[in-house]
C-alpha cells in the first residue's frame, strides 16, 4: 500500500518578500479614502516645495549638468519647459523638492518621502505613458502610497540609531520608496518588486556630514529617486537584486545600516495600518528637529512679547539624536548649515518672529548680530527624553532667561505640522501657493492645485497634472544661491 507524500508547510515569507508582495499587489481600491485624500495633500505640498526648489542655484547647477548628456524626453522637469529621461527627471525634481528643507516628513522613519517617492513616480509614469502604457491618476496615487509605505517602514526598522550613526535617512530609505513607486507603475509582480528593492537597497547612501557647508544634502533626495527608478527599470528586464535585503545577517540592509534594528515594522499591519496617513508637513524651512523649539519661541513671542533684545540665555534640552543632528555651535558658512543648526534658528526666530525662506539667505545667515545671538544658546541631550524612545525624538524642553531676571520654561513633545499636531488642509494650501508663486504664474499654480484635487477622477488626469507643472520659461536663478526675490 503506497502512501501519498506529505506536503511540508510553506516557509513563512521573509520581510523583504512580504513587503515587496504588498507593494506589487497594491491597488487603488485597497487604499482607504482618507489615505487617498492625505496623499493628494502630500502631492500638493511636494509640488510647492519642488517648484520653489527649481529656482535655487544648486538645482540649476544640477539641471545644467545633466541636460547636455540626456536625450531630453519624456519626463517633465517641474517649473521649467524642459524634459529629461525618467531617471534624470527624478534626480532633478527630487533635488528640487528637498532643496530648502520644506518637504514632508515621516517622523519615526526620519524620511522625507515626497522628494524621493513623488519625483520617481511621476517621472516613471510619464515614461511609461510615452511607451504606450495606460497610466491613470489612480495608478499614480497607488504608486505614491506604495512608495510612502515602503520608505516609512524601512526607516522605522532601523530607527533613530541610523541617524545617530551619521546616515541621511532620506538618501538611504528613500531609495527603497522610490523603487517601490516606480515598480508599481511598471506593473512589477512580487518577484520583480523584490528584485527592485534588492537593487535599490544596494544603492542607498547619504552622509549627514553633508549638512555642514555643502550643497550635497539636497542632492541626496534626487539621487535616491534616480536610483529607485533605475532599480525598477532593471527589475522590469529581469535584473536580480538582493533577495533577502533586510534580513541578511551579513551585509543586509538593517544590520549594516544600524546597530539597533527591528524587522517587525517592515510588515506589521500591512494593508491595515497606513503610515502614509501619518505624514506631516513643515511650516518652517528648517530641519524638523528644530520645529518644537520654533513653536515654543513663537508662542512666547505672541504671549509675552519676547524679543531678541530681552534675552540673556536660552537653554534647550532634547534627545541625543536632536543634539547631534542640530545642536552644534553655529559658524556661518552656508544656507544649508543655518537651516540645520538650532542655535542659529533660535536667533533668527527671536529676531524675525519666523523661520521661513526669508530667514535663510546668503546674507542673512552671515549676519553678525544673529551669530552673536546664537552664542547665547546651549543645547544638551536629556536622558529622560531619550528614555521615551524614538516616538519622542523631537520632544524638547526650553528655558529662557531674560536680562531683567525673569525666566520662562516651556515643553513640547511634538511639532506643529506633525501627525500629533497636524496642519490643516488650508495651511498646506497656503504654503503651496506661497512657494509655487516663485516658479509659476498664479493661473498655472491654481490649475496645478485643481489637477491634484481631481487626480484619480478622470482618464486624462495625469496629462493635466504634468501640463500644469511646466512653466513657459526656465525659472530665474539668483547666482548667490537664494531665491530671486531677496
DSSP string, 386-427: HTT-GGGTT-EEEEEEETTS-EEEEEESS-TTSTTSPPPHHH
Q: Select from 255, 278, 301 the last residue of a domain.
A: 278
* Structural domain count of the chain: 2
Written as nine digits, the cell of 246 is 533586510
* H or E element, residue 459: none
127 and 25, same structural domain?
Answer: yes
294 and 265, same structural domain?
Answer: no
264 and 336, same structural domain?
Answer: no
Enter the pTM of the model: 0.93
301 and 166, same structural domain?
Answer: no
What is the pLDDT, as a whole number, of residue 444?
A: 94
Say if 30 falls within a structural domain.
yes
209 CB contacts (<8 Å, ≥6 apart)? 166
What is the pLDDT, as a whole number, of residue 147?
A: 98
Say if 344 falls within a structural domain.
yes
340 and 267, same structural domain?
Answer: no
Q: How far is CA 177 from CA 68, 115, 225, 311, in A?
A: 28, 10, 8, 44
Spatial distance between the Cα atoms of 331 and 338, rounded to a whole number of angstroms: 8
219 and 125, same structural domain?
Answer: yes
184 and 122, same structural domain?
Answer: yes
What is the pLDDT, as a whole number, of residue 471?
A: 87
Residue 163 half-sphere exposure toward CB, CA atoms < 13 A: 23
Start-to-end CA distance of the chain, whole Å, equals: 90
What is the pLDDT, as a whole number, of residue 479?
A: 45
Query: 3-state DSSP helix/strand/coil percent for the chain, to nearest 5?
Result: 55, 5, 35
Residue of 380, 371, 375 lying closest to 312 (CA atoms): 375
Say if 474 falls within a structural domain.
no
pLDDT, tens digit (0-9, with 9 covering 90-100), for 232-288: 999 999 999 999 999 999 999 999 999 999 999 999 999 999 999 999 999 999 999
Written as nine digits, the cell of 262 is 527591528
213 and 264, same structural domain?
Answer: yes
Say if 421 falls within a structural domain.
no
Give the CATH number, domain containing residue 249. 1.10.4100.10
Say if 24 falls within a structural domain.
yes
26 CB contacts (<8 Å, ≥6 apart)? 142, 145, 146, 184, 271
Say if 408 falls within a structural domain.
yes
Q: Select from 278, 297, 332 the last residue of a domain.
A: 278
55 and 179, same structural domain?
Answer: yes
194 and 130, same structural domain?
Answer: yes
Residues of the chain with pLDDT under 70: 1-12, 477-486
Ranges of beta strands (E only) in 122-164 are: none
Spatial distance between the Cα atoms of 91 and 275, rounded to a whole number of angstroms: 25
- Measured over the CA atoms of residue 285, residue 287, residue 289 and residue 294, the dihedral's sign is negative
161 and 29, same structural domain?
Answer: yes
315 and 181, same structural domain?
Answer: no
Say if 452 falls within a structural domain.
no
Say if 265 falls within a structural domain.
yes
What is the pLDDT, as a whole number, of residue 248?
A: 96
Give the CATH number, domain containing residue 355. 3.30.1330.120
State which residues form the domain around 356: 288-412
Q: Select from 412, 438, 455 the last residue of a domain.
A: 412
What is the pLDDT, as a whole number, of residue 11?
A: 54
Amino acid at each position: 500500500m503506497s502512501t501519498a507524500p506529505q506536503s511540508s508547510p510553506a516557509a513563512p515569507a521573509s520581510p523583504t518578500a512580504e513587503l515587496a508582495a504588498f507593494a506589487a499587489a497594491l491597488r487603488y481600491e485597497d487604499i482607504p479614502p482618507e489615505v487617498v485624500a492625505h496623499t493628494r495633500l502630500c502631492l500638493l505640498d511636494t509640488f510647492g516645495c519642488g517648484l520653489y526648489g527649481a529656482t535655487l542655484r544648486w538645482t540649476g547647477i544640477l539641471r545644467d549638468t545633466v541636460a547636455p548628456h540626456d536625450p531630453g524626453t519624456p519626463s517633465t522637469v517641474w517649473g521649467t519647459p524642459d524634459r529629461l529621461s525618467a531617471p534624470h527627471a527624478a534626480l532633478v525634481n527630487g533635488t528640487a523638492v528637498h532643496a530648502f528643507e520644506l518637504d514632508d516628513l515621516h517622523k519615526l522613519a526620519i524620511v522625507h518621502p515626497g522628494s524621493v517617492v513623488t519625483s520617481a513616480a511621476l517621472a516613471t509614469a510619464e515614461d511609461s505613458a510615452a511607451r504606450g502604457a495606460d497610466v491613470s491618476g489612480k495608478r499614480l496615487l497607488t504608486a505614491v502610497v506604495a512608495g510612502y509605505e515602503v520608505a516609512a517602514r524601512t526607516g522605522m526598522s532601523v530607527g533613530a540609531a541610523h541617524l545617530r550613526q551619521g546616515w541621511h535617512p532620506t538618501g538611504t530609505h528613500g531609495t527603497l520608496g522610490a523603487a517601490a513607486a516606480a515598480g508599481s507603475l511598471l506593473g512589477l509582480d512580487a518577484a520583480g518588486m523584490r528584485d527592485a528593492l534588492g537593487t535599490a537597497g544596494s544603492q542607498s547612501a547619504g552622509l549627514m556630514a553633508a549638512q555642514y557647508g555643502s550643497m550635497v544634502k539636497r542632492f541626496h533626495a534626487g539621487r535616491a529617486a534616480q536610483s529607485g527608478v533605475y532599480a525598477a527599470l532593471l527589475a522590469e528586464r529581469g535584473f536580480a537584486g538582493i533577495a533577502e535585503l533586510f534580513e541578511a545577517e551579513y551585509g543586509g540592509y538593517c544590520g549594516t545600516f544600524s546597530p539597533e534594528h527591528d524587522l517587525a515594522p517592515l510588515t506589521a499591519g500591512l494593508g491595515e495600518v497606513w503610515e502614509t496617513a501619518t505624514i506631516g508637513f513643515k511650516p518652517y524651512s528648517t530641519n524638523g528637529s528644530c520645529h518644537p523649539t520654533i513653536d515654543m519661541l513663537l508662542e512666547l513671542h505672541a504671549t509675552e512679547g519676547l524679543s531678541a533684545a530681552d534675552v540673556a540665555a536660552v537653554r534647550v534640552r532634547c534627545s541625543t539624536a536632536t543634539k547631534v543632528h542640530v545642536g552644534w555651535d553655529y559658524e556661518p558658512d552656508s544656507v544649508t548649515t543655518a537651516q540645520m543648526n538650532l542655535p542659529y534658528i533660535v536667533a533668527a526666530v527671536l529676531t524675525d518672529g519666523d523661520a521661513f525662506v526669508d530667514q535663510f539667505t546668503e546674507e542673512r545667515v552671515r549676519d553678525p548680530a544673529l551669530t552673536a545671538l546664537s552664542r547665547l544658546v546651549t543645547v544638551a541631550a536629556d536622558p529622560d527624553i531619550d528614555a521615551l524612545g524614538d516616538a519622542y525624538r523631537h520632544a524638547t524642553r526650553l528655558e529662557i532667561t531674560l536680562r531683567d531676571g525673569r525666566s520662562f520654561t516651556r515643553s513640547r513633545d511634538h511639532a506643529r505640522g506633525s501627525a500629533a499636531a497636524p496642519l490643516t488642509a488650508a495651511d498646506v494650501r497656503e504654503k503651496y501657493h506661497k512657494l509655487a508663486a516663485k516658479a509659476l504664474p498664479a493661473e498655472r499654480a491654481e490649475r496645478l492645485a485643481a489637477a491634484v484635487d481631481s487626480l484619480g477622477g478622470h482618464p486624462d488626469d495625469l496629462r493635466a497634472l504634468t501640463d500644469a507643472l511646466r512653466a513657459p520659461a526656465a525659472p530665474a536663478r539668483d547666482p548667490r544661491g537664494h531665491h530671486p526675490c531677496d
